Amino acid sequence: MPTAIIADDERLMRDQLRMRLEQVWPELEIVGEAKNGEEAVELVSQHRPDLTFLDIRMPGKTGMEAAREIGDRSQIVFVTAYDQYAVEAFERGAVDYVLKPSEPERLKVTVERLKARLDKPGAVVNDSVTAMLSQLAEKIAAPKPKHLQWIQASIGSDLRMIPVEEILFFRSDEKYTCVQTEKFEALIRKPVRDLADELDPSLFWQIHRATLVNVNAIEGVTRDIRGRHLVLVKGRPEKLEVSRSFLHLFKQM
């Protein structure tokens, strides 16, 4: 039975990858999980796993640094949100380089490559991996989206990847930011002030220091008995308060 460890500083991402691997490779045994590169190196020394799934950006020792120390003691697969490290990853002997979110169909390709490697220890990178590296190089050279395209959020113990156009509004409290869609509510730790810099300002308006609203979700603006301006959201009972400093956004309405 092949064995593996998973290294990622985000618990939800470790949970998601483990769940997806169980779907596409039920025979694979996950023998340990690490929160950073140092723990990953220790787990490889302890368990000698056949495979190591490494995130690249982790606190302390990075995935690249951990891969250098692990060497040929375990086959390396990088699972990361950052495609600019692809060339360096393959130079370090990675079997594959999977971009987050790791979808089952993409992991099936990875599993086939890993099985081929395990059947033939010491095999060189094959033509399919070389072709994928070429595609990644083209992707790295392509213009990056200027704004966030999706939000990674948790609903209970599940992780969801939510396209930003489906989000009605964001609203923060002291610890979390609520992500509200038509069908469900999710939570993220990123504050509204950071989201305001990363989202398309033509799609999301900041109407309060703790609130961002999707322009397409605005039904209208009303006043309460205290004279506060409130945004009405299509299909929702919530009324979102507008701070005085953001009232200029609604002058044309």
227: phi then psi, degrees, rounded to nearest 5: 85, 5
β-bridge pairing 3-7 and 51-54: parallel
Q: How many CA atoms lie within 13 A of 142 on its CB side?
A: 9
From residue 25, alpha-carbon distances to 1, 12, 36, 110, 232 in Å are 11, 20, 24, 10, 47
- pLDDT tens figures, 145-158: 678 888 888 777 77
pLDDT tens for 110-133 read 899 888 888 765 444 444 444 544
Q: How far is CA 152 from CA 19, 26, 53, 109, in A?
A: 16, 26, 20, 23
Q: How many CA atoms lie within 13 A of 135 on its CB side?
A: 10
pLDDT of residue 153: 85
State pLDDT tens for residues 24-62: 999 999 999 999 999 999 999 999 999 999 998 888 888
Q: Which two tokens stand for residue 189?
A: 């730790």
Rg (CA), the chain: 22
Burial class of residue 240, CB neighbours in 10 A (0-12, 13-18, 19+): buried
Q: What is the mean pLDDT of residues 72-78?
A: 91
